[in-house]
C-alpha cells in the first residue's frame, strides 16, 4: 500500500461517480477517485486514486501521487510518486520521483535540480520545461 501526506489545509474529493471536464485550479489538497478530462494547475497536493482515470493536457502541482490512470504530462514542484498497479502515458518532470514495480509507464522523465523561478500558472508547459534546470551527471 502507499502513503501520501497531504499538507495542512482542506482536502477535496472528486468521487468515483464524478466526471469533470475542464480546467481545475486549487491550492490545498485534492483527491480524484472518478474521471477528469482537461488541465489541472495547483500549488497544493494531488492524489489520483486507484479508481481514477485522468485524460489531461498537463497536471502541474506541488506534489502528485498516481495510483490510477493518467494520460498526459505531469509537472511537480517537489515530488511525484507512481505506485504499483498504476498507468501513466506522458512526460514527467519533478525534483523527486518514485516509481514502484508493476507500473505501466510510457514517457520521458526530467529530473529538476531546483524549482524554476517562473510562475507555473503563467507559462506553457514548454516554457516551464525550458526554464527548468534538468539534472545532469
For the segment 15-66, what is each residue's pLDDT rounded down to a tens digit? 999 899 999 999 989 999 999 999 999 999 999 999 999 999 999 999 999 9
When pLDDT is cut at 50, 70 and 90, the band that residue 125 belongs to is low
Residue 3 has pLDDT above 70, yes or no: no
Three-state DSSP class for residue 127: helix
What pLDDT is attached to residue 137?
Answer: 37
Three-state DSSP class for residue 133: coil
| E-state strands within 1-131 | 11-14, 19-26, 29-32, 35-42, 45-48, 53-66, 69-82, 87-89, 92-94, 96-99, 104-106, 109-111
When pLDDT is cut at 50, 70 and 90, the band that residue 136 belongs to is very low
Amino acid at each position: 500500500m502507499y502513503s501520501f501526506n497531504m499538507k495542512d489545509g482542506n482536502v477535496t474529493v472528486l468521487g468515483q461517480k464524478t466526471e469533470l471536464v475542464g480546467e481545475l485550479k486549487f491550492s490545498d489538497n485534492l483527491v480524484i477517485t472518478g474521471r477528469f478530462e482537461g488541465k489541472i494547475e495547483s500549488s497544493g497536493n494531488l492524489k489520483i486514486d486507484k479508481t481514477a482515470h485522468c485524460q489531461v493536457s498537463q497536471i502541474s502541482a506541488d506534489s502528485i501521487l498516481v495510483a490510477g490512470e493518467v494520460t498526459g504530462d505531469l509537472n511537480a514542484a517537489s515530488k511525484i510518486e507512481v505506485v504499483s498497479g498504476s498507468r501513466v502515458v506522458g512526460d514527467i518532470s519533478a525534483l523527486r520521483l518514485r516509481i514502484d514495480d508493476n507500473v505501466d509507464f510510457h514517457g520521458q522523465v526530467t529530473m529538476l535540480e531546483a524549482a524554476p523561478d517562473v510562475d507555473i500558472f503563467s507559462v506553457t508547459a514548454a516554457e516551464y520545461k525550458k526554464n527548468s534546470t534538468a539534472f545532469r551527471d
